[in-house]
Structure 1
Amino acid sequence: MDAWFWWETMLALALRYPEILLAIACFFFVSQMKKPSRTPVNWPVVGMIPYLFTNTRNFHDWLTDVLRASNCTFVFKGPVGVTGDLLLTCDPANVNHVFNVNFTNYPKGGGFSEIFDVLGNGIFNADHDSWKYQRKKAHALISDKRFRSFVGITSHNKVKNGLIPTLNHLAEGGHDLDLQDVFMRLTFDITCNLIFGIDPGCLAIGFPTVPFAKALDDAEESLFFRHVTPRKWKWIRYEKEKKLESAWKTIDHFIAQYVSLRKHDMMKKTINNNNVDAATNLLSSYLNCELEAGELGFKFDTFLRDTTLNLMVAGRDTTSSGLTWFFWLVAKNPKVEAKIIEELQLKLYHYENSNDTSSLIYLHAALLESLRLYPPVPFEHKGVVRPDILPSGHGVRRRRMLVFSLYAMGRMESIWGKDCMEYRPERWISESGKIKHEPSYKYLVFNCGPRTCLGKDMAFTQMKATAAAIISNFHVEILKGHVARPKLSIILHMKDGLMVRLRKRG
């Protein structure tokens, strides 16, 4: 019998006889009470799916508990009729094997591009020759000295002329504000400038609505729910899919508009190798590679759309998420805040006349530590080409998807020691006063191996400039009663934002 027909039949019976649903629910909960377990039980017919629905409010912490109880690796079984299962892991040995040692056997895979179809054939979805070309091209552009200088200047100017004046206005008026929203606006403006050469003015007094920014949020939330429900169960996430469809149209319209503006601008002037513009915003550089993109079989307009969207997601969302959780942790740990202020004073740092934050070692360590506990991308997943045995002893095959929990990895005593749940920047500073370097397969925040994040330095440039400027000028106070918890999204945003009040420093 066809698996989909079987599920439709079961659903029809359940809707006609709701007592069946009630009986199943009672059986599940009573069984759980009789036999408490930190790891999911593989139930007849439904597999382990009920655990997903009963743990949506604390999904990442629940998954962390499961991996902690199963020695960092666990096989999650789906319902009957759903092919394949998930191997969940946060074991550094498995990470090193998949991301480094046997990299070619673990591509993103067709399942990944199917889930993330809105990203098209951009670098996040790409494998093999397409990925190699896109990575090589992005690496050449991002590592260019002129572009790196442009990143520093753009970030500094936006913080100085956009962020601080806006926060001053809010602080003087005694307003409560959502700091996460502020950071998403800040990184949106900076990223648009770096990619398109255009500042949309999202971070302005009055906080104007930007449909593209909201569309990205809606898309990311919808993509998360594709991970936790079987692919054929579209009916169960119908509203999320409708939201994604609408967001997709908004995203395409926005990018097409900005690409058109940049093309029009380039038609007005002749750009040569000595022109600064050719090495600043990334789109101008990509517009000069139509011939080589065509030789690789890319439709150029689609290539530009997919490339710029992937860069936007990487630049806006990860940095804003990192800043949000950083300020929440600093507000909860006044000793850390005091040490950051002491360093800023010792280094005579002032945001108005300095865009160099390289000497701020403790601030850098504090950011590394917050990213360990709250990685902006909380999980990664891989497909499998050929059967293999992981260092943990678990076998993998083509129909088994591997999911790596970065969130759980930062909370494992076996990896980070007994104080793994503590926010302690000092763990990143050596006896000589320099930053300690941990293996990327242990600290997976910026990925690992050949797919290591190209924008790591850019991210730290923006985060350090922003953090130093805010902490120099304001004390951030979390509103009483505010609860910080992760939103169910592919990016680790806070569900209800970060509600704060700012007090200006003397």
Structure 2
Amino acid sequence: MELSMTLAVAMLLLLLLPLLWSRRETRKQTSADGLKAYPIIGTLPHFVKNQDRLIEWSAGVISRCPTHTMFFNFKGIGLMAGAITANPANVEYIAKTNFRNYPKGESVVSAMEDFLGHGIFNSDGDQWLWQRKASSYEFSKRSLRSFVVSTVRFEVLERLLPLLSRAELDGLTLDVQDVLERFAFDNICCIAFGEDPACLTEEGLGSSGHAEFMHAFNDAQIIIMDRLVSPVKWAWRIKKLLNMEPERRMSEALATIHSYVNKIVRERSERGEARLAHKDDFMSRFVSRGEHSDESLRDAVTNFILAGRDTTSSALTWFLWMLSGHPGVEDKIVHEISALRASSGSKDATFSFDELREMHYLHAAITESMRLYPPVPIESRWCQHDDVLPDGTFVGKGWKIYYSSYAMARLEEIWGSDCAEYQPERWLDDEGVFRPESSFKYPIFHAGPRMCLGKEMAYIQMKSIVACVLERFSFQFVGGEGRPGLVLSVTLRMEGGLPMQVKKRGH
């Protein structure tokens, strides 16, 4: 009898708590987003209906919000509450002003832990801080920058350009997204831990081990994003426990990823520290500064691959697609490259760091493409204590807070009436010199204490690839009319790849 009464009271509380929570949030929430809230489940139906196009749909909703902050509250037990903002003042507040109140958070860290471990992109507090300091020290060295330039040079000259020449000669259609991912994978493996998988060689292209790893890496990112945007915080854990999809695929992907990365760590350990001390790759520098377990090295390798392969390949994939529809922009880039060659008198097959710095229009064109199609379209944080954002939006303890770079690019209040257009000139002053914007208005490389340390290296790599390729080739998109679909992943990938035909410049 006593047990029955206890269960009855517990059930009553479960029914009442969502309603009480709903009243509390209705009193505190001040922003309006136009979404109808339903009893008990709040705005959940809207998210379920649009879960396959969450980035695009939320950008549309945010554009209609007076403060450009979209509130959501899935009021049932175990469901999320939070907000997605595209307000630069809010981004500055979350990423810098009140940084300590908005860490990655336990829910984000735990959702990504089996993939990224506790590497720099999936850690908070002291664990994040020591990795940040160690990485910052290494990224500040000129020798690392020189190593990046030479590594990119080799990959461009010895692999990418010959691959494009063969495709042009044979009249092949290339999936340029796949080519760029392979290029970036080779590059980051050499820069980060001194390994060369040679994915752009004929042998590398046919290697099942590399192909399986990259497929698993892509699959893991899609499933991670599915975990992060799920309205039911613990749903993925239940699916994992019951070995349900997509968690069954995640287990298979992780087995492939860990096997590949563990092999790298094991071989590195077998070489011995004496031989590693004279290597220029980032991990050798990193290891020489202290003791690291195999697990921490595995986390570092996985985080490096995510940062170095997926962000730059995503940025360049969308850039080349944008360029295919804007021949005027392509002509200006080619003219800038030709003018630089004429003024310098250089006969080198690639470009030096100083020459790349002089390519202001190319820098603007890549930056503008990333504005419209950011490699990381949405960034998540977790609120530790009740707070109020600068636009007046109440944020409760334990809420998820997202800022959407994708949505920010499509707001007239931020970028003007031509915000939806591809206009590299918006980044140039009257003298044609590149003029950066605030990182809170343009958080493509994040902002505040978590600002991307590899920003300069990313631009070196992207500008070197584009300048060398466009000097020799042009590309024609053959994927049909309209914009390719977006793949909801940790990074913004293109659905179905980027099919393009390669033509020699001037032919």
TM-score normalized with structure 2 length: 0.87
The alpha-carbon deviation at position 383 of structure 1 amounts to 1.1
* 1:64 corresponds to which of 59, 63, 66: 59
- Residue 232 (structure 1) aligns with: 234
Question: Unmatched 5+ residue regions in structure 1?
Answer: 7-36, 294-299
* Structure 1, 38-47 or 494-503: larger mean CA deviation: 38-47
- Residue 283 (structure 2) aligns with: 283
Taking the aligned partners of 1:265 and 1:223, their CA distance within structure 2 comes to: 34
- Residue 490 (structure 1) aligns with: 490
The CA deviation string for residues 18-52 of structure 1, in whole angstroms up to 9 with x for no partner, is xxxxxxxxxxxxxxxxxxx9843222343323323
Taking the aligned partners of 1:286 and 1:257, their CA distance within structure 2 comes to: 19
- Residue 313 (structure 1) aligns with: 306
Whether contact under 8 Å (1:67, 1:408) holds in the other structure is yes
The CA deviation string for residues 60-88 of structure 1, in whole angstroms up to 9 with x for no partner, is 22111100011310111215223440211
The answer to whether the aligner puts 1:341 opposite 2:334 as a matched pair is: yes
Amino acid at match of 1:231: K
* Structure 1, 102-111 or 256-265: larger mean CA deviation: 256-265
Matches within 5 A, 1:303-382: 303-348=296-341, 352-356=349-353, 357-382=356-381
- Residue 156 (structure 1) aligns with: 153
The alpha-carbon deviation at position 141 of structure 1 amounts to 1.4
The alpha-carbon deviation at position 270 of structure 1 amounts to 4.9
Matches within 5 A, 1:53-452: 53-71=48-66, 72-117=68-113, 118-205=115-202, 207-208=205-206, 209=208, 210=210, 211-229=212-230, 230-234=232-236, 238-266=244-272, 269-270=274-275, 275=278, 277=279, 280-291=280-291, 300-348=293-341, 352-356=349-353, 357-452=356-451
* Structure 1, 163-172 or 255-264: larger mean CA deviation: 255-264
Amino acid at match of 2:82: L
Whether contact under 8 Å (2:386, 2:395) holds in the other structure is yes
RMSD of equivalent CA atoms: 2.3
The CA deviation string for residues 378-397 of structure 1, in whole angstroms up to 9 with x for no partner, is 11111122221110101112
The alpha-carbon deviation at position 271 of structure 1 amounts to 5.6
SS at match of 1:354: coil
Whether contact under 8 Å (1:255, 1:305) holds in the other structure is yes
Taking the aligned partners of 1:5 and 1:112, their CA distance within structure 2 comes to: 29
- Residue 29 (structure 2) aligns with: none
The alpha-carbon deviation at position 449 of structure 1 amounts to 0.6
Taking the aligned partners of 2:229 and 2:425, their CA distance within structure 1 comes to: 36
The alpha-carbon deviation at position 289 of structure 1 amounts to 3.5
- Residue 18 (structure 2) aligns with: none
Whether contact under 8 Å (1:66, 1:74) holds in the other structure is yes
Whether contact under 8 Å (1:351, 1:469) holds in the other structure is no
* Structure 1, 248-257 or 171-180: larger mean CA deviation: 248-257
SS at match of 1:439: coil
Whether contact under 8 Å (1:351, 1:465) holds in the other structure is no
The CA deviation string for residues 236-294 of structure 1, in whole angstroms up to 9 with x for no partner, is 79312111111111111111111122222335x5565xx3x1xx112212332444x5x
Whether contact under 8 Å (2:108, 2:228) holds in the other structure is no
* Structure 1, 337-346 or 281-290: larger mean CA deviation: 281-290
SS at match of 2:402: strand
- Residue 18 (structure 1) aligns with: none
Taking the aligned partners of 1:368 and 1:81, their CA distance within structure 2 comes to: 42
Instruction: Describe the shift of the 1:60–1:5 C-alpha distance in structure 2 as closer, same or farther (beyond 3 A).
Output: farther
Instruction: Describe the shift of the 1:341–1:43 C-alpha distance in structure 2 as closer, same or farther (beyond 3 A).
Output: same
Taking the aligned partners of 1:456 and 1:386, their CA distance within structure 2 comes to: 31
Q: Count matched residues.
A: 464
Instruction: Describe the shift of the 1:84–1:222 C-alpha distance in structure 2 as closer, same or farther (beyond 3 A).
Output: closer
Amino acid at match of 2:260: F
The alpha-carbon deviation at position 5 of structure 1 amounts to 9.6
Taking the aligned partners of 1:289 and 1:383, their CA distance within structure 2 comes to: 32
Taking the aligned partners of 1:150 and 1:266, their CA distance within structure 2 comes to: 22
Amino acid at match of 2:473: F
* 1:49 corresponds to which of 44, 48, 60: 44
Taking the aligned partners of 2:136 and 2:389, their CA distance within structure 1 comes to: 31
Amino acid at match of 1:502: V
The CA deviation string for residues 395-430 of structure 1, in whole angstroms up to 9 with x for no partner, is 112121101111101111111110000000000011
Whether contact under 8 Å (2:135, 2:286) holds in the other structure is no
SS at match of 1:221: helix
Taking the aligned partners of 1:504 and 1:472, their CA distance within structure 2 comes to: 9
Whether contact under 8 Å (2:276, 2:284) holds in the other structure is no
Whether contact under 8 Å (1:156, 1:351) holds in the other structure is no
Taking the aligned partners of 2:186 and 2:89, their CA distance within structure 1 comes to: 39
Taking the aligned partners of 1:58 and 1:287, their CA distance within structure 2 comes to: 41
Taking the aligned partners of 2:410 and 2:290, their CA distance within structure 1 comes to: 45
Question: Sequence identity of aligned pairs in percent?
Answer: 35
Taking the aligned partners of 1:191 and 1:212, their CA distance within structure 2 comes to: 14
Amino acid at match of 1:466: I
- Residue 504 (structure 1) aligns with: 504
SS at match of 1:347: helix
Amino acid at match of 1:217: N
Amino acid at match of 1:434: V
TM-score normalized with structure 1 length: 0.87
The alpha-carbon deviation at position 104 of structure 1 amounts to 1.2
Whether contact under 8 Å (1:379, 1:407) holds in the other structure is yes
Whether contact under 8 Å (2:350, 2:468) holds in the other structure is no
The alpha-carbon deviation at position 112 of structure 1 amounts to 1.2
Taking the aligned partners of 1:160 and 1:59, their CA distance within structure 2 comes to: 40
Instruction: Describe the shift of the 1:270–1:233 C-alpha distance in structure 2 as closer, same or farther (beyond 3 A).
Output: closer
